[in-house]
Each structure stands twice: as C-alpha cells, then as structure tokens.
Amino acid sequence: MKLIAIVMAAFLIVRAVLPCSFRWYYKILLSLLILFASFKFFIFAWISGSPNVFAPDLPVFVQYIGTGIYCLAFIYFTLLLIVEAARLVYSLIVKSLGRKLSNLFRENANRANLILLGVALVLTGTGLVMGMVLPTVKEHTMEIARLPKEADGIKIAILADIHIEKTTSERYVKELVELVNAQKPDIICLLGDMVDGKVEDIGEKVALLKDLKATTVVYGVPGNHEYFSGYDAWMKFFKGLGVKMLINEAELIDGVIFAGITDKAARRYKKPVPDVVRAVGSGGQNHPVILFSHRPEHVAAAAKQKVDLQISGHTHGGIIWGMDILVGMANGGYYSGFYEVDDTRLYVSNGAGIWRGLPVRLGRNSELTVFTLKVPGK
C-alpha cells in the first residue's frame, strides 16, 4: 500500500500540479493535499494511534472527508494514467510511421487535466452513492451431479465483505439483515471481512447480525480483516451471536458436506492457516462438498479434494469496471462470477458491502448471493 501511495502522489504532483501556471505557494498547497490524500490510511492510523490502518479511531465526519478526498485522488490518478498511456501509444505509432509528433497534447495539457478532474468528481460521487446502496439479490440454481434428494432445494444465502466499521450505520445493517431474512434461507454463510475495528468499538453494530434467520444454521469463515481487527475476540463474539465458525472444518447436512477454511492472513498472526485437506477430509469421496473460502485462490486445492462448489468473496467484484482485471491478477485470475477448475465450480461474490478504504462501486455492484441446490433433471 505504501508503494501505491508513493507512486500516486508522485505522479499526480508531476503530471497535474507542476505543469500548472499557478503561483508557487498554490502548487505547494495542492501538493500537500495530494500527499495527504495518497497517504490517508497511514496518516489517520498515526493520528489515532491505531495499529490497524483500515480502522482508525477518529470521528466519523473526519473519516468521511478523508475518504472522499482519497477516492477523488485515486480516480483522478487512474484517469490521468489512462490518458498518459493513450499519449504513449499515439507517440509510438507516429514515430513508427516516421511522422512528426503533434503538439496537441502539450498545448492542451492543463485544459485536459481540468476536464479529467471534473470527470473524476462525477465518477467519485456516483461511485460513493453506489457503494452505499443495499446489495442486489442474485439467485443461482446449482445442479450438483451427486446431490442426494433430501438436499434438493436447500437455499444458501451468502453475505461476503460487509466491512462493518465506525462509519457504518445501524440502519444499513438492519436493512441488510431484513433483506437476507426475506430470502428465507436454510443456510447463511458470513464469508469473511465482516468487520473493520475492535469488538469494543463496533460490537454493538455487529451484534445486529444475531437477527439473521436460517432454518438450519448460520456459518461463518474468517477473512483477512478479521485478523487485522482482533481475531480471537471476533471469533468469540461471532460464536456468541450463534454463528458456527468453520475453522478448517466441516459439517454434514442432508448428505452434503459444508466446509470452511481460514484466510492466509492467519500466518502473520500465528493462527491456523487455510487447510482444504483438513477441512474436507475424505468425505468428498462419498458426499458432495460445498466449500466456503474467503479468498478464491484456494480453488486449485479444492479441485484436488473433489469439491463440487467453492464460494468466495474478497475481491468486491473488482470494485471498478476495468480495474477488475487487475484485481483478478492479484487473486489467481478470479474476481467475479462463475469459473471452472477441473470438476470444481467456483463462484466469486461481488460482496454485500464495501470496504471504506475505497468505498466506490462503478460497474461492479454489490450483491446478496442466493444459491438453491438442485438434483440434475429434477
């Protein structure tokens, strides 16, 4: 993250501030604002004394302002990168043809920067609004070849990446719970990254999840942010809410194995690392297996264990259309929707909430994913 902050700050200052015809002190002020925006996470963590850069202990309005400025800087940075890439391609083509470069880009650079800043403002506002709305319900019927008939019709609701923290409203959590309950699921799974912050700071909001109603069970698996926020305290807290946390383990329900694994962030905190073999065991030879894994990258190991369906989150669907490909590159090539690895199907949810570090969605809307298991041909 520090490398991204350094690159973003340096590029914005060199590309957007220094070429301006402003007086030197205005350039200094703009450069300081860009530095603040780029290093917002670390500045807020330092001011609040928080070891978790994702959950600073600061007033909500301060976090809103800082986050808005960061989002604007990030989107402006992205747009400028796209324009710079286009200019580079144009220059290479013109040179390869042996022609003289036009001064069009140079002469209109400041005007183009101002237009792009306006576009960035519109996109930032739109993205922030889309990041706050309740998720869309996405329903999928999953035919599983060896599904026993007693499991036919089991409905599974997936809540991934809510990221409840200090700026999350209780009303939003309540409405999200009502939306889940309206689906009348048999099984609910909290698929990791439920929280950003300590139990003592946001426990009252997270406790609203106790009203989730499943006819059979509410499962959970940890995501990386549970480790950042105090793993032991949160595992105890979720247990108190009646959530069955699947820590590299599984349960058999109506002839189907429901397994869950931990997140690889566990290694840093000396907690149990993800272990698909331990979670599934030898049960996959005799029963269909559904694996809950916060990250999608474990699907290769799942395929070796004959897992029928792996359900994951973590990527937020890529957050922004176009940027989703880069997100996929950091997650084994998976970022949103269905994939197949050998005989294992993988579904990556866009997530039901949004991470407040970059709380925008542009073309990658949030979702509440609902699966209904079906016997083929029935």
- Structure confidence by residue, pLDDT tens digits, 52-74: 777 777 787 888 898 899 999 99
Collect all residues with Cβ–Cβ distance below 8 Å to 331 and sequence separation of at least 6: 295, 296, 297, 314, 315
**Residue 162 — very low, low, confident or very high, per pLDDT cuts 50/70/90?**
very high
Percentage of residues in the chain having pLDDT higher than 70:
96
Token code pair at residue 345: 């199907």
* 48: three-class secondary structure by DSSP: helix
pLDDT of residue 97: 78
- Starting at the edge strand found earlier in the chain, the sheet holding 244-245 runs 136-143, 367-374, 155-159, 187-190, 217-220, 244-245
CA 308 – CA 302 distance, rounded (Å): 8
In this predicted structure, what is the pLDDT of residue 215? Answer: 97
pLDDT-based confidence at residue 338 (cuts at 50, 70, 90):
very high
Mean pLDDT, residues 350-358? 89
- Which one is predicted more confidently, 74 or 45? 74
Virtual torsion, Cα 126, 127, 131, 135, nearest 10 deg? 70
Is residue 108 pLDDT above 80, yes or no?
no
Least confident of 51-65, 153-167, 219-233: 51-65
User: 257 pairs with which residues across the strands?
Assistant: 252, 289
pLDDT-derived band at 130, boundaries 50, 70, 90: very high
How does residue 23 score in pLDDT terms, banded at 50, 70 and 90?
A: confident
Burial state string for 40-70 with b = 16 or more CB within 10 A and e = fewer than 16: bbebbbeebebebbbbbbbeeeebeebbbbb
- Asked whether the beta carbons of 163 and 111 are under 8 A apart, the reply is no
Select the more confidently predicted residue: 358 or 255: 255
Residue indicated by tokens 């902050």 = 5
pLDDT at residue 84 greater than cutoff 90: no
Cα 6 from chain centroid (whole Å): 23
The percentage of residues in the chain with a pLDDT greater than 90, rounded to a whole number, is 70
Q: Which residue has the higher pLDDT, 146 or 182?
A: 182
Please determine, looking at this structure, whether the domain spanning 134-374 carries the CATH number 3.60.21.10: yes
Start-end of CATH 3.60.21.10 domains in the chain: 134-374
What is this structure's pTM? 0.90
